[in-house]
Structure 1
Amino acid sequence: MRKEFAVIGLGRFGGSICQELHKEGMEVLAIDRDEDRVNQFKHIASHAVIADSTDETTLKELGIKNIDHVIVAIGDNIQASILTTVVLVELGVKKITVKAQNDYHAKILDKIGAHQVVHPERDMGRRIAHSIISNNIVDYLELSDEHSIVEVKAGKKMIGKSIIDLDIRAKYGCTVVAIKQGSHINVSPTPNDILTERDILIVVGADKDIARFERQLVIDD
């Protein structure tokens, strides 16, 4: 059974979510105050409507409380984002994900009952920062405020050595959860696996431990 989604706010963030959900064959209700934006998504979303999401009556008429997951992607209008979230919570929407502009906004969203708060600009900034530190850092994803997962190419200091030789868990407090080589992914690497220059390690750990791991093993001198 396909889930039904609603995306409120059709800027770059909300618009990209709409497009990806559509590609995955999901039912998507797209909502924005701006007529031009709504028109852009008429042929992408299942339904695209011009509406004020802070108006409880309007959202009720759209049947929003029957939607499985509502994403509030309102851009720079923090007040509208907060008011919309309050209305969704009061209507009993099952899952509410909201884009936060800053940490203060995120704290308010948490307190009023948003189920998930995302920081796309902040998270993208962190990913880019890690990727420009070294060509060996492929990707970086925050799991929580203190833990992350990183994809790294095997650096010169790692090639020809096994995981146990490098003693990654004991020395750096990180865990190698998988090793990618082309399209093949080894999801249960053994301590004796020898690393090659084609290997990409998927490593999870506390941010401070990952930073130390990157500095000492990943970034080539």
Structure 2
Amino acid sequence: MRKQFAVLGLGSFGRSVALTLESMGCDVIVVDKSQETIQEISDRVTYAITADITEREALSALGTRNLDGAVIAVAENLEAGIMATLLCKEIGIPMVVAKAKNKLQGTILKKVGADTVVYPEIEMGSRVAKSLLATEFTDWIELSNDYSIVEVAVPKPWVGHSMAELGIRSKYGVTVVGIMQKGSVNVEFDPQMPLPESGLLILVGANKVLEKIGKLEK
């Protein structure tokens, strides 16, 4: 049975992944918001779609039940990469590979659900395609109408408790991607570490959930 993959974003890296997978006998769906780019590749892949990869409807239309994995190739736009990663995992794509420009970006993408992060400056698209087959904020950044990244002071009821103890992801439905103290961001924190009174949490999640957390006693 032919394996099926989606490639979201068609820069040079995304094109390389898509064409390598197609040449190795896979069914490949590509998605990019540029109609011109889609037209250029449409006769070289199984299916080409002009759409915004941050839109749930566009990704849901890919037939996710049949996909073996997705490659998110939009490292130049972190917000789009985060949103696409979240949506791909939410709609049930089993393997999500995300492109990142640096370690910080890669860590954030892993935190929001990417199974694998690749750095195209180091790994060529063709190599990534082959590996898929081989391994069967105080600040608010809006990602979409429904999702955002925020920086928020550690709520008073959380101070002194660890993220594991609080069950932040399971109980509240948000992901902690970093802890900021004294102007320094830590993205490789220990989930067993007690949360500091003076810290800021960097959270990713649905706006309605983030708003509720923001109203917790400070």
Instruction: Name the TM-score class by shorter chain.
Output: 0.5 to 0.7
Report if aligned partners of 1:18, 1:44 keep a CA contact under 8 Å in 2. no
In 2, distance between residues paired with 1:84 and 1:42? 21
Superposed CA deviations along residues 33-88 of structure 1, whole A, max 9, x for unmatched, are 11111111111110001011111122112223531110111141111011100111
Counterpart residue number, 2:78: 78
In 1, distance between residues paired with 2:65 and 2:43? 24
Q: Does residue 88 of structure 1 match 2:88?
A: yes
In 1, distance between residues paired with 2:33 and 2:65? 19
Q: For residues 177-196 of structure 1, what are the structure 2 equivalents within 5 Å?
A: none
Q: Which amino acid aligns with 1:60?
A: S
Q: Which runs of 5+ in 2 are unaligned?
A: 125-218
Q: For residues 6-155 of structure 1, what are the structure 2 equivalents within 5 Å?
A: 6-123=6-123
Q: Provide the secondary structure at the position in 1 that maps to 2:79.
A: helix
Q: Which amino acid aligns with 2:109?
A: L
Q: Provide the secondary structure at the position in 2 that maps to 1:30.
A: strand
Q: Which amino acid aligns with 2:34?
A: D
Q: Provide the secondary structure at the position in 2 that maps to 1:101.
A: coil
The Cα of 1:123 is off from its aligned counterpart by 4.8
Structure 1 51/64 Cα, relative in aligned 2: closer, same or farther at 3 Å? farther
What TM-score, normalized to structure 1?
A: 0.54
What TM-score, normalized to structure 2?
A: 0.54
Q: Provide the secondary structure at the position in 2 that maps to 1:97.
A: strand
Query: Greater Rg, structure 1 or structure 2?
Result: 1
> What's the Cα RMSD here?
1.4
Report if aligned partners of 1:5, 1:27 keep a CA contact under 8 Å in 2. yes
Report if aligned partners of 1:9, 1:75 keep a CA contact under 8 Å in 2. no
Q: Provide the secondary structure at the position in 2 that maps to 1:74.
A: coil
In 2, distance between residues paired with 1:30 and 1:60? 14
- What is the number of equivalent residue pairs in this alignment? 124
In 2, distance between residues paired with 1:89 and 1:26? 21
Report if aligned partners of 1:97, 1:115 keep a CA contact under 8 Å in 2. yes
The Cα of 1:94 is off from its aligned counterpart by 0.7
Report if aligned partners of 1:65, 1:88 keep a CA contact under 8 Å in 2. no
Report if aligned partners of 2:65, 2:92 keep a CA contact under 8 Å in 1. yes
Report if aligned partners of 1:72, 1:98 keep a CA contact under 8 Å in 2. yes
Counterpart residue number, 2:199: none
Report if aligned partners of 2:71, 2:97 keep a CA contact under 8 Å in 1. yes
Counterpart residue number, 2:137: none
In 2, distance between residues paired with 1:34 and 1:75? 16
Counterpart residue number, 1:3: 3
Which structure has more relative contact order (CA 8 Å, sep 6+)? It is 2
